[in-house]
Amino acid sequence: MLHQQTTTTITDTMSTLEAMRLQETSYSCQDYLQQALTQSQHSFVQGDSEFTQDDVTVCQNNRSKMVEWMMTLTDACQLKRDTVSIAMNNMDRYLATPQGMTHSLRDSSAFQLACMTSLYSAIKVHEEKALSPEVLSSISRGFYSKKDMEDMEWSMLNALQWRVNGPTPLAFVREYLANIPRRVMKDSVKEHVLALAMMQTELAVTDYNMSTSSKASSIAFAALTNAMDVLGLEFRIVNHYILAKSNLVDICQVCDVQSALFVAVAGVVPSAAAARQQQRSTSMLCTQQQQQASKQHGHSSISPRTVLNEAA
């Protein structure tokens, strides 16, 4: 669903986006697998279980399988897939803490319990209906008890300092679209863009490297521009209404993830879209450099008249 747009919506959206950009710094995640690998190499003691590159691969594969399981469960329960994004952000940040790394990273059983618990908590906070611990226990065929999940939830909340409400890539996509006036992009077109962007944000959740190295806003903007490529929409739209406000987007990081996300919409991409996507990445970097140079000279790189002429 898109936001309903009023005369004050765009101003409100700008404020919301700025707040979300500030908030996402508190929800960024470290590459905890590389951190565990480095720590193991530096502090390995004879008799201890060493964390190896093979363990990194196993953890990444297990994580992907758990994300797929979460998506299947939310679909079956008619819940929002974006709740999985919230759950996995909490899960990844938990595993990056000393407590999570010690108790849940190397133990596959504890790892699975932490994943299930993170989804349980995210559903409880962000969905209108909740799944009880008893239901999840039965789904695990009794392998995990209600007490197991409640104890794990308490452990995770404390390790995360109760920060469990971070902005997701899809939330950023919706706000970016809300910043584009209806006269420039109709709601029906925005719905198509949103659907294509959603396919990519769901792919990003399954990708460990993207989840731990890229900001939600960067994933969102990359997904948005890729979706616009598929639909053949003009780049000047995001240039004027989003990219011109450079504090809303980290362009260098967007370019890093754009090609990886493009795979999600490859099946619906016209033949020329892939080439446009590469050109657009170059164009975004040039635009950012021009804006930074313009700000240093004390004036805006895009005049109000230019914006109005382009929007007409």
Q: What is the CATH number of the domain that holds 101?
A: 1.10.472.10
Q: Are 145 and 173 within one domain? A: no
Report if residue 178 sits inside a domain: yes
Higher pLDDT, 277 or 230: 230
Residue ending a domain, among 159, 177, 212, is 159
Total domains in the fold of the chain: 2
Residue 274 pLDDT greater than 90, yes or no: no
The predicted structure's pLDDT at residue 308:
29
Residue 310 pLDDT greater than 50, yes or no: no
Residue 262 pLDDT greater than 50, yes or no: yes
- Angstrom distances, CA of residue 158 to CA of 99, 163, 179, 274: 10, 9, 36, 45
Residue 275 pLDDT greater than 80, yes or no: no
Overall pTM surpassing 0.85 (yes/no): no
Q: Are 286 and 176 within one domain? A: yes
Q: What is the rounded average pLDDT of the residues 146-167?
A: 95
Q: Are 189 and 110 within one domain? A: no
What is the tens place of the pLDDT at every residue in 187-222? 999 999 999 999 999 999 999 999 999 999 999 999
In this prediction, residue 249 has a pLDDT band, given cuts at 50, 70 and 90, of confident
Torsion-angle region of residue 232: left (phi > 0), alpha (psi -120 to 50) or beta? left
Report if residue 244 sits inside a domain: yes
Residue ending a domain, among 159, 184, 211, is 159
Most confident of 138-142, 149-153, 267-271: 149-153
Pair 114, 95: CB distance under 8 Å: yes
Q: For the ranges 7-11, 115-119, 125-129, 213-217, which has the lowest average pLDDT?
A: 7-11
Report if residue 264 sits inside a domain: yes
Question: Cβ contacts of residue 262 below 8 Å, gap of 6+?
Answer: 200, 226, 229, 269, 274, 277
Rounded to the nearest integer, the mean pLDDT of the chain is: 83
In this prediction, residue 265 has a pLDDT band, given cuts at 50, 70 and 90, of confident
In this prediction, residue 2 has a pLDDT band, given cuts at 50, 70 and 90, of low
Residue ending a domain, among 159, 193, 228, is 159
Q: What is the rounded average pLDDT of the residues 256-278?
A: 67
What is the tens place of the pLDDT at every residue in 5-64? 554 566 787 888 989 999 999 999 989 999 999 888 776 544 456 888 999 999 999 999
Q: Are 141 and 225 within one domain? A: no
Helix intervals (H) in 104-162: 108-126, 133-139, 146-159
Q: Are 267 and 149 within one domain? A: no
Domain limits at 174?
Answer: 169-311
Q: What is the rounded average pLDDT of the residues 235-246?
A: 76
Which of 94, 107, 132, 112 minimizes the C-alpha distance to 51?
A: 107
Q: Are 245 and 137 within one domain? A: no
Q: Are 306 and 176 within one domain? A: yes
Q: Are 183 and 135 within one domain? A: no
Report if residue 294 sits inside a domain: yes
Which of 80, 233, 239, 97 minimizes the C-alpha distance to 157?
A: 97
Report if residue 179 sits inside a domain: yes
Higher pLDDT, 1 or 180: 180
The predicted structure's pLDDT at residue 191:
95
Report if residue 238 sits inside a domain: yes
The predicted structure's pLDDT at residue 299:
43
Q: Are 102 and 139 within one domain? A: yes
Residue 304 pLDDT greater than 60, yes or no: no
Higher pLDDT, 262 or 89: 89
- Angstrom distances, CA of residue 55 to CA of 161, 168, 216, 289: 28, 28, 27, 41
Q: Are 175 and 222 within one domain? A: yes
Q: Are 130 and 248 within one domain? A: no
Question: Taking the CA of residue 199 as centre, how many other CA atoms within 13 Å lie in the half-sphere pointing to its CB?
Answer: 18
The predicted structure's pLDDT at residue 186:
93
Report if residue 9 sits inside a domain: no
Q: Are 198 and 137 within one domain? A: no
Report if residue 46 sits inside a domain: no
Higher pLDDT, 234 or 62: 62
Which of 115, 197, 127, 123 minimizes the C-alpha distance to 156?
A: 115
